[in-house]
Structure formats: C-alpha cells, structure tokens
Amino acid sequence: MASGTGEVSKKLKLYSYWRSSCSCRVRIALKLKGLDYEYIAINLLKGDQKSPEFLKLNPLGYVPVLVDGDFVVADSFAILLYLEEKYPQHPLLPKDLQKRALNYQAANLISANIQPLRNLLVLGQTHIRKGFAALEKLLENYAGKYATGNEVFLVRFFPRAFINISVYSEYPILSRINEAYKELRAFQDAMPGNQPDTPPEARA
C-alpha cells in the first residue's frame, strides 16, 4: 500500500469493489468531477476488507475508502462531501438550501435505510420497499429529469442491478429517473460491469 519511497502520491486512490453500490456512488462523483484516480480493488468475496492493512484505513472493514495524499476518508457519504468541498467543479449539491436538504435527506435514506438491508432476505425486502416508497414520495414534488430537478446532484439510488428484488417497477418516478441516469457517461463508466476488477463474465 505504501509507495516505499517515503513520497506521498498526489493521485487520489479509491479502494473499491466492482459490485459495491457504495463504491459506485463515489466512482460516479469522481467521474462527474473529472478526477483521475487510482483504482485499488478490494475483493470482498476473498475477504480483502478484513486484512490488517485495510483495517488500518477503515476499522469497519468496508469499502469505499478514499486516500488523498496522506489523508484517509471512509464512508461514501463523507467521501462525496469531501470531494464536493475540495473539487467544486460539477457541484453535487444545489445552491438552494431547501434542495440541498432534500438531497441530504434522500441520500441518507438510501445509505441508512435501504443499502444496509439490501443483502438480507425477507426482512430486508420489507424495509427496502418501505425505503423506496418513502423515496418515491419524497421526490414526488421535486423530480425533474433527475431526482431533484433537471441537474445531476448527490442523490442517486440503485440501478436495477443492485437490487435483489423486482420492486423497481412499483415506483414510476424512480424507474423513470433511473433511465435518465443510465444515459450519462459518468454513470455508465462507474457501473459494476466496467471496473478494473470486474470479472470477465460480468463485464458490460
């Protein structure tokens, strides 16, 4: 992990797993902001996240982790806000305070109330449905082409590929805006099928 020369690399490093939706969020932001980064694959199936080296970066043992010089930040939401403040190009947050709050609320709903439950079976599905229903309702008065209007901001939910259950079609707004996001190059580049560690059989 260390360069061994004592020099701190200037290039951003992202510890990521191709299928991880949390990593994908950060990959999208890096692409939208046009930031070049080194992709460091953490194979969650092989348990790379539990290695002592990785646990030094994130004691929780989760991807994504961003390393900027000698600064380390974990958790996709924290990383997105860090990138937003450091690299203002292509803002991930609207200027309007209320729309910013809406983006915080929807992004947190996804990362706290939907994503952690995704891998559980029946119980998870009930809560995910609840989360999607709340998100659909929340965006009702704000959605334009994208989640909170006609510009691309922080809020982005899972593409179909990330969901184990076929709930998407129950939510017309979520389905419609998902199609719009899918047209964007930054989103396509960040998808699981296009990562350096994507196995050949899963390549887009």
Ligand X SMILES: N[C@@H](CCC(=O)N[C@@H](CS)C(=O)NCC(=O)O)C(=O)O
24, burial (CB in 10 Å: exposed 0-12, middle 13-18, buried 19+) = buried
Check residue 111 for interaction with ligand X (CB under 6 A): yes
DSSP secondary structure of 70-96: TEEEESHHHHHHHHHHH--SS-SS-SS
Amino acid at site 192: P
**What residue spans of the chain are helical by DSSP H?**
21-32, 52-57, 76-86, 97-108, 122-139, 172-182, 185-190
Chosen residue from 49, 103, 148, 178 binding ligand X by CB under 6 A: 49
Q: Which amino acid is at 40?
A: I
In the complex with ligand X, the residue whose CB is nearer, 77 or 95, is 77
Does the protein bind ligand X through residue 77 (CB under 6 A)? yes
44 touches ligand X by CB under 6 A: yes
Cα(157)–Cα(155) distance, integer angstroms: 7
Site string for ligand X, 132-171 (x = CB under 6 A): ----------------------------------------
Q: Closest approach of Cβ 133 to ligand X, in Å?
A: 21
Residue 21 makes contact with ligand X by CB under 6 A: yes
Candidates 15, 62, 153, 181: give the one binding ligand X (CB under 6 A): 62
Note whether 103 binds ligand X by CB under 6 A: no
CA–CA distance, 73 with 91 (Å, rounded to integer): 20
Coil vs helix vs strand at 118: coil
Which range touches ligand X (CB under 6 A), out of 72-80, 128-136, 173-181, 187-195? 72-80
From the list 16, 18, 20, 67, which residue makes contact with ligand X (rule: CB under 6 A)? 20
* Contact between 22 and ligand X per CB under 6 A: yes
86/65 Cα distance (integer angstroms): 16
- Tell me if 192 contacts ligand X by CB under 6 A: no
Binding site for ligand X (CB under 6 A): 20-22, 44, 49, 61-64, 75-77, 111
